[in-house]
Structure 1
Amino acid sequence: MSALRKPYWSDEHATLYQGDARQVLAEMADGSVNCIVTSPPYWGLRHYCEDQYGQEPTPEEYVDNLRATFAEARRVLADDGTCWLNLGDCYAANSDGWARGKAYNTRQPKLRPKARLAVPPKNALGMPWRVAFALQQDGWILRNAIVWHKPNAMPQSVRDRLSNRYELIFLLVKQRTYWFDLEPIRQTYTGDRSITRRARTGGTKPNSIKTPWPSPGKYGRTGQDAAGPRHGTAMRPTGQRHTAAHPEGKNPGDVWHISTRPLRAAHFAAFPIDIPLRAIAAGCRPDGTVLDPFTGSGTVGIAARQLGRKFAGIELNPDYCALARTRLHVEAGGEGD
């Protein structure tokens, strides 16, 4: 590990580095961050700058690139830290098997780097899962595959398949025990008023429930569960906590309904701040540091600042470094450039 380079910009809470994610990570100290929240460029989708991730000739090379980068990220992450990785999928495109991309801006090449794909045209390539399984092989523990459902997803003109309405967010950790606080992200109960009333008047503090309440919903209100005499005990819920209603709200689950939020700046794929807000609140110690190796417009840094965590960001594109710096500076109470 060499000495860490001079920051592109920093203040008392945030630091930005310009450069390749893997190279900058290699300069960072072991266990120096507590949480990683990031969304690397998706394979073959957009062209941001030269030497970026996502323009590799084949899916396999893209996976290998991310694999090597996240090996460094795993070293930099504290042993009890969490990593939240957002990735989207793409399709094998035209009839001759060459992957092609759409021009999203004037610097976008009309064709992806020519790559002979190993699957017939129109296949979903499963890029998020390819990366997740590769990281598993490297020792990461995959705790969740969260579905980010986009209620306002852009319309698609396809006629021979269903429109895509979601992306995946993987929760990865280094060891079986790690920092995770469910309380800040619990959601208010809706629907069944009796569950809500019991949760609010249970008289116990979070994490101190000794006798969980029975659920009046899924398994019936009279003690007769859904299994019944016809199916026997094999179908019954395992353990009393299966039917518990927590007084502070419910676990948000692994399907997140979060609308996209357009960013009025020169960045085409900024994800909504709701995602890092939730990930950081649950997966980063209150005095911890959040890292985004693919900072882009700086949304993760803004979320970290709002939640009182420190932030370290890495970005290859100098234009996006400037954009992230401006947004973080404004968030801190400064004026825009």
Structure 2
Amino acid sequence: MDNWRNRVFCEDAVKGIARLPDGVADLIIADPPYNLGKDYGNDSDRMESAAYLEWTAAWVDAALKKLKPSGSLYIFLTWRYSPEVFVMLKQRMTMMNEIIWDRRVPSMGGSTRRYSSVHDTVGFFVNARDYYFDIDAVRVPYDAETKKARSRSIFVGAKWLEMGYNPKDVWSVSRLHREHRERADHPTQKPLEIIERMVKASCPPGGLVLDPFLGSGTTAVAARRCNRDFVGFELNPDYCKLIEQRLAALQPEADAAATVSTPCP
């Protein structure tokens, strides 16, 4: 496959990924269907459990062939299938973190027969010990009060105080409600804040991010905003058009003009 960088391929991920060169991606960000019956304009989120896990293994094996030895994978899941998928991935990679995305869902009703589910689970996996990871790019700044409290001479000039702290494995970032300025017409759109953190930490500048399930295109947008390349796949042609629109809306310095959306055959 030629001219595949910074392109959206509107087709089945497993088939499309097979055409990419091996070992080209620095980072894979995967937000696959959770198999909860969501409407993505097709039946991709409605499978029997065994079929879903078999399909997951198939796309994982296809995608991992495209990852560099120093590469990483982030995968979004829920508690329903994360145990099985994590075990499967541990047979192929090294697990570094289980990240909890607290969606900041307000306490309004919910089931009376179980606890309300208000988080997504994210697995962070790497290929090798020397995987790329830039913690300084994603440090969280300390507030003024914290810096003031650390005013003793032993803290003056301390790198950790000036640059901020390492993000924890619980990420409290609001989901994109209907009125949110980022919100696009997609049922499970992820916030840019989360995806950009992954890109900055785990893909070097000028590197390549692979997303097998682009959905609303947040990974593509985040990659271009962070001066990284991307390649991605999306089955629904309406979402492919949405991604193209979001990329076109980027500022010129994000090189939106270089992106091309390939329509379904």
What TM-score range do you get, normalising by the shorter chain?
0.7 to 0.9
Instruction: Determine the structure 1 residue equivalent to 2:56.
Output: 66
Aligned pairs for 1:133-172 within 5 A: 133-137=87-91, 139-153=92-106, 155-172=108-125
Q: Which has the higher helix share?
A: 2
Q: CA separation in 2, counterparts of 1:314 and 1:198?
A: 52
Count of aligned pairs: 249
Q: CA separation in 1, counterparts of 2:153 and 2:6?
A: 39
Q: CA separation in 2, counterparts of 1:24 and 1:199?
A: 57
Q: What is the deviation of 1:133?
A: 1.1
Distance change (3 Å), C-alpha of 1:154 and 1:317: farther
Contact kept, 8 Å, 1:88 with 1:127, in 2: the verdict is yes
Aligned pairs for 1:69-218 within 5 A: 69-89=59-79, 126-137=80-91, 139-153=92-106, 155-190=108-143, 192-193=146-147, 196-197=150-151, 202-203=156-157, 206=159
Instruction: Determine the structure 2 residue equivalent to 1:109.
Output: none
Structure with the larger RCO, 1 or 2 (CA within 8 Å, 6+ apart):
2
Instruction: Determine the structure 1 residue equivalent to 2:46.
Output: 55
**1:23 partner letter:** K
Q: CA-atom RMSD, angstroms?
A: 2.5
Q: CA separation in 1, counterparts of 2:69 and 2:118?
A: 34
Q: CA separation in 1, counterparts of 2:149 and 2:239?
A: 47
- Whether 1:290 and 2:248 are equivalent positions in the alignment is no
Aligned pairs for 1:313-324 within 5 A: 313-324=232-243
Distance change (3 Å), C-alpha of 1:258 and 1:198: farther
Q: What is the deviation of 1:38?
A: 2.2
Q: CA separation in 2, counterparts of 1:315 and 1:83?
A: 18
Distance change (3 Å), C-alpha of 1:61 and 1:286: same
Q: What is the deviation of 1:136?
A: 1.2
Distance change (3 Å), C-alpha of 1:30 and 1:88: same
* Match 1:44 to one of 33, 36, 50: 36
Q: Could you tell me the TM-score, scaled by structure 1's length?
A: 0.68
- Whether 1:251 and 2:166 are equivalent positions in the alignment is yes
Contact kept, 8 Å, 1:63 with 1:134, in 2: the verdict is no
SS of the counterpart of 2:58? helix
**1:33 partner letter:** A
Determine which structure has more spread, i.e. the larger CA radius of gyration: 1
Consecutive unaligned residues of structure 2, counting only runs of 5 or more, are 258-265
Q: Deviations over 1:276-295 (max 9, x none)?
A: 11100100011101111100
Identify the range of structure 1 (25-34 vs 261-270) with the bigger mean alpha-carbon deviation: 261-270
